[in-house]
Amino acid sequence: MSPKATDARKGDILRAIYDKLFSTFGPQHWWPAKTPFEVCVGAILVQNTNWQNVTRAIENLHREGLLEFPFLQRISRERMKTLIRPAGYFNVKATRLKNFLDFLAQNYEGDLKGLSGKPWPLARAELLSVNGIGHETADSILLYALNKPVFVVDAYTKRLLLRHGFIEEAQDYTSMQKFFMTHIHSDPVVYNEYHALIVQWGKRVRYDAREGKEYLLRDRKYFL
């Protein structure tokens, strides 16, 4: 894309990519969780880890009946570590989960509705103040647990923006998020689907430098 592409043009391309991804991969039905609380737990456990490992940890918690705030909040750090072990980084993630649970307990009596009732920029700032919750985790919670119109940026998102020439070099999280949120109308349903589709894109699509095109891993057909 030419650096001089107008903002309107960039928006058009961004929407065209969405359409192509949706027609290729279909609705993603994110977040794969039963409750908003489970989304929060998953959002912390998935940090720098593949989702399959997280599902093992979630299953452990579910089997023990711990996927509800009052029960999870009560268990020891050691038991937490044992149960979430398959998600990797279990020492740091146990601490981060505890930090999040303490935050919920101290400010909202363990009820996500209290957090959800606040304007999302405020809720976002509060989440970011929790040690172990960074931009992506906070935004995943806001979008996928609380249904707020916040775009989630991840490593795949950055790759897509670079690949398609929307940006020329890596930019910080906030600017990449702003890019999507200024070009795609504010809608949690669309933001939900777009981010999930970008993750599919990252997993299922590779770049052929010789052809300068992308192809689907499943059949090597060219794509985008």
Q: Which stretch binds DNA (CB under 7 A): 13-21, 115-123, 134-142, 185-193?
A: 134-142
Choose among 222, 181, 153, 195: nearest CA to 28.
Answer: 195
**Residue from 140, 134, 141, 144 nearest 152 by CA:** 140
Q: Per CB under 7 A, which region of 19-27, 42-50, 68-76, 216-224 contacts DNA?
A: 42-50
User: Per residue in 183-208, is it b (16+ CB within 10 Å) or e — as a string?
Assistant: bbeeebebbbbbbbbbbbbbebbeee
We find the least distance from the C-beta atom of residue 135 to DNA, in angstroms, to be 5
Burial class (CB in 10 A: 0-12, 13-18, 19+), 141: buried
The correct pick among 1, 12, 77, 92 for binding DNA (CB under 7 A) is 92
Segment near DNA (CB under 7 A), from 1-9, 15-23, 110-118, 135-143? 135-143
Residue 188 touches DNA, criterion: CB under 7 A: no
Interface stretch with DNA, choices 12-20, 26-34, 100-108, 115-123 (CB under 7 A): 26-34
User: How many angstroms separate the CA atoms of 14 and 11, rounded?
Assistant: 5
What CA–CA distances, in Å, run from 143 to 59, 101, 147, 186? Answer: 23, 19, 5, 12
Longest dimension (CA), the chain: 57
Instruction: Find the binder of DNA among 10, 13, 36, 51 (CB under 7 A).
Output: 51
- Near DNA by CB under 7 A: residue from 156, 190, 216, 223: 156
Location of structure tokens 């770049």 = 207
Q: Which residues bind DNA (CB under 7 A)?
A: 30-32, 42-43, 46-53, 56, 85-86, 88-93, 130-138, 140, 144, 154-156, 199, 202-203
